[in-house]
Structure 1
Amino acid sequence: MSVFSSLRSSLASLHSFLLATQEEPGLWRPTRRTHLLHLGVAVFLFVFAYFFTELPREPVAVGLTVLACVALPVFSVMPVAGLLLGIVATWAASSVEHDTGIVATLAVWSVISVLIARGCPRWLVYCFAYLVAVPVVWAAARQGQWVNGFIWIVLVGIPCVVLGELLRRQRDRARENARDRRRALVRQRRLVASELHDTVARDLTYAVMTAEQLKFAHPEDDGLVRGLDAVIEPVRTAVGQLRRSLQDMATVDNDDAVLLSSVTSPRPITSVLADARRVLEARGASLEVEGTELFESEGVLTPGTQHLLLRVINELIDNATKYTSVDGRVRIAVEINGNALECMVTNPVDVNSSKDVVLSSGIGLEGARRRVETLGGELVTNQGGGRWAVTFTVPVRGAWQNA
């Protein structure tokens, strides 16, 4: 009873594996050409057994040989049924008193070879191989020629296993190469999305805001207003399309390693602050900064940490510049507290105005959060009482202590 229980559980495992291979797109699946190839091999085995071996021309011997050969094409289409058919044919050919020839008991090794090549778990495959090898050796020993049983396994079984392993290795390598290419493509797309968001989308957003502020500052100049309207609308449309495309590109995968790679260097903090002051002053708002020189201090941050944090603070300043209410004040405070760098960016927001979905995609803030988390820190946002606050903390190690 335990043998049949083990066989049943093994077949269940095989069935689950085969279902998984059908559902996972990266795994190899047999095609019609493969099925025809298996059918051709089965026909070749039967012709070889019938015409070139001493197969008795008896119904039992011929029938079991046909059954053993048919197991291969059946396995190609219905793996569990084909494997069971091959095992039954092998055991039956080894158990009957008649001489059934060698193919009836050895054809099932072709099924074992295909199982290995398809990537079935090895422990399962070799359990079936054991079930196939035992009756062959047992039948040979019953005739007093048990050595012949081992010889046939060495001559037929082992080459089939080696062939299956070679095919399996080749397919595993092909699947691994395909996965590497997909991962590289995903990282490349995310890197492009990050770079475009931090450069082109940001610059176009600043251009739209500057043009709108200039328009509101000179409403009496009809020519200027018409010219700015002709520029603002196409640029706003282009920014909206670009940000939607970047959202699609950025949500393909969640590979944080992309955040550690950047094609272009981040803008200097002084340049970002100068642009922010210019835009805010045109709106009647102001900018107050404290400690931002720490972001460019060689004694505080390593080059890699400095690179990522400059991108984070640039994104936070850009967001504050876009959403600060008229006559408001943006405040940026940075300090070293123990072994951590702490930064807070706050700005008042107009609670009655809605967020400009064209000039905002949410990619920047999410990218800033993940960059901070990549460095082992934490970024927290808080909105209430007409103010928006973003704080983040990043651990820094020892270089600043020696300064």
Structure 2
Amino acid sequence: MDSQAVKAFAVASGFTEARICRADEAWEAGERLAEFVAGGQHGSMVWMEDTLARRQHPTGMWPDAKSAVVVALNYGPNTDPLAALERKSEGVISVYAQNADYHDLMKKRLKHMAREFVAKTGAEVKVFVDTAPLMEKPLAAKAGMGWQGKHTNLVSREHGSWLFLGVMLTAAELEPDAAETDHCGSCTACLDICPTQAFPQPYKLDARRCISYLTIEHKGPIPLEFRAAMGNRIYGCDDCLAICPWNKFAAVASDMAFHPRPELKGPLLSELAALDDTEFRAVFTASPVKRIGRGRFGRNVMIAVGNSDDQSLLPAVLDRLEDEDAMVRGAAVWALSRLAPQLARERAKARPGTDTDPEVEAEWQAIARIDTRG
């Protein structure tokens, strides 16, 4: 099975595209990652630090790897994701998470491809879809799939910024494709649109400021400085991807698994705020959203409610002030201060005792201090 046959079979297996690169050559991606971690820009994602040595080079995962077959799956949306930000009474879920979990679908197809490759060649293989310490984006750029844009994500001239990536490492020697060059030019659209200024410079991301990190990975209260900027984004952020001019060449995802489920495209904040743990798990069955848990999700929803300017959502906020999850309660206090500041001050003054969680108590005290100064 030569390189052309491998790529053809990848497409036949359901992938949009496949390219090949050497897996055992020196590259600069490892150094960039080390700088990112050393600067603390990975935030609380301690697994990046713990696995740094393995993550810095493909052979860190498997010393015998000689070639990397990089596969991509298009998940282009059928509407403009930025338009949803104007509908403030709805929650905005990142395009990739509005239906099935892509990890499951891609890994199934990759394993099918790998079995065929092993049967034809006898060569050893290992497959990866985002969950192991392997840097897919630099491999994809090295293989000619695209280039890492100024927003650090992969950009393709054929598919824009809407590609899921997977990798099959193999001990076989395959003919590599030519690497892609950078076609961003002087464009800074992805940097300029970022609501939290998460890019200290082009090609550099500070995850601690990224809304995708804050809504998904961050486990505590959302830092105050980022709450208003989150708007109605309740899971992830597509702004830097959606604004990319190269998306004009992108096609809508052909896989129905990536067409949005009706209940996950523009869900009403009032309905999301009312979900208990059982209901949350039911609504987000088979969705990546389920992995963050109802607590973080409820926190995000309350931040969105606080940014909505929708007075009809006030009852939902009052209900969540008594939520069993401290993250939800704390975010509800902030939402109350935004939707009904006078009521928030009255509640802060009239409260009979202290909250059992110090961070929730701090939210109430912040409102009380404002009232005292006023």
Q: Same fold (TM over 0.5)?
A: no
Question: Which structure's relative contact order is higher, taking Cα pairs within 8 Å and 6+ residues apart?
Answer: 2
Normalising by structure 1, report the TM-score: 0.19
TM-score normalised by L of structure 2 = 0.20
